[in-house]
Amino acid sequence: MTGRVLVTGGSRGIGAAIARRFAADGWRVAVHFHASPDAAAEVLAALPGSGHVAVRADLRDPESITRMVAEAADALGGIDVLVNNAGVFFDHPIDEVDFDTWLEAWRQTLDINLLAPALVSWHAVRHMGPGGRIINVGSRGAFRGEPHSPAYGASKAGIAAFGQSLAKYLGARGIAVTTVAPGFVETDMATQALAGEGGAVRRAESPFGRVAEPDEIAAAVAFLASPQAEWASGGILDLNGASYLRM
């Protein structure tokens, strides 16, 4: 299957890998970005095939989201798959930050990691027909807890529940909704966390002795976008190399 896909946060890291994978499989891709136009242009220029587009939006701004999804749908001629990938992570341990920092971390994290996917999805499903897909990029942090970034853990738990709620509702329209839950991935967002002794500890969490590559996450997302994955709707796919196991 090929079609039209919108990837939020598509200018770097996991999002860029997902955009590359879909383009390599013959899809037309809308690469969303916010503050990195040069990075988005670089990703766009490197995508195989034609008909791709970069679309800009501040995911904290509902009006910007509205314009971005409309621009993507217009450029692609519709949207078959939405990948809600964009996200932020701020350290804010409750005993180590003042109240204003705590409040701002929660506001920004929930706005971008949870509210924005809900708003993007609202617009995107209006361009989808039967066979459509929404794939949310969550985190193992939704299940194991994030003591230094509780807003992140809460937002990713929320995105898992959001995906399951949409799966129950949209299945009647032939639209499947799934969530992937990676552990650490070798991206620029994780560079600091994976450096030095801390990085060695995090790699040792997996029996494979490493963290994921972005292309491994992209491969799972590509499968979940396929017709063969319809029956996975409502599911949460752990992608953490057995570094965290849950029932």
56 bridge partner residues:
33
Lowest-confidence region among 10-19, 172-181, 193-202, 205-214:
193-202
Length in residues, the chain: 247
| Candidates 22, 27, 152, 184; catalytic one | 152
Per the annotation, the verdict on 152 as an active-site residue is: yes
Q: Counting beta carbons within 10 angstroms of the beta carbon of residue 69, is it exposed (0 to 12), middle (13 to 18) or buried (19 or more)?
A: buried
Q: Provide, rounded to the nearest whole percent, the portion of the chain with pLDDT above 90.
A: 92
- Within-domain flag for 244: no
What does the pLDDT look like over 229-239, one tens digit per residue?
999 999 999 99
- What distance in Å separates the CA atoms of residue 18 and residue 9, rounded to the nearest whole number? 10
- Within-domain flag for 246: no
Could you tell me which of 236, 25, 23 has the C-alpha nearest to residue 138?
236
Q: Give the model's pLDDT for residue 211.
A: 95
Reported as type and span, the H/E element at residue 182 is strand 176-182
Lowest-confidence region among 97-101, 120-124, 187-191:
187-191
Q: Give the model's pLDDT for residue 97.
A: 98
Q: Provide, rounded to the nearest whole percent, the portion of the chain with pLDDT above 70.
A: 100
pTM of the model: 0.96
- Within-domain flag for 247: no
pLDDT at 226 over 80: yes
Question: At residue 49, what are phi and psi to the nearest 5 degrees?
Answer: 85, -170
What does the pLDDT look like over 78-113, one tens digit per residue?
999 999 999 999 999 999 999 999 999 999 999 999
- What distance in Å separates the CA atoms of residue 91 and residue 29, rounded to the nearest whole number? 32
Reported as type and span, the H/E element at residue 217 is helix 214-224
For residues 220 and 1, which has the higher predicted lDDT (pLDDT)?
A: 220
Residue 189: pLDDT band (50, 70, 90) is confident
Cβ proximity of 194 and 210 under 8 Å: no
- Within-domain flag for 245: no
**Domain span including residue 101:** 4-239
Average pLDDT score over the chain: 96
- Within-domain flag for 176: yes
Residue 195: pLDDT band (50, 70, 90) is confident
- What distance in Å separates the CA atoms of residue 42 and residue 140, rounded to the nearest whole number? 30
Going from the C-alpha of 125 to that of each of 1, 120, 130, 180, 214, the distances in angstroms are: 19, 9, 10, 19, 26
Please count the structural domains in the chain.
1
Q: Give the model's pLDDT for residue 247.
A: 84
CATH number, domain of 179, equals 3.40.50.720
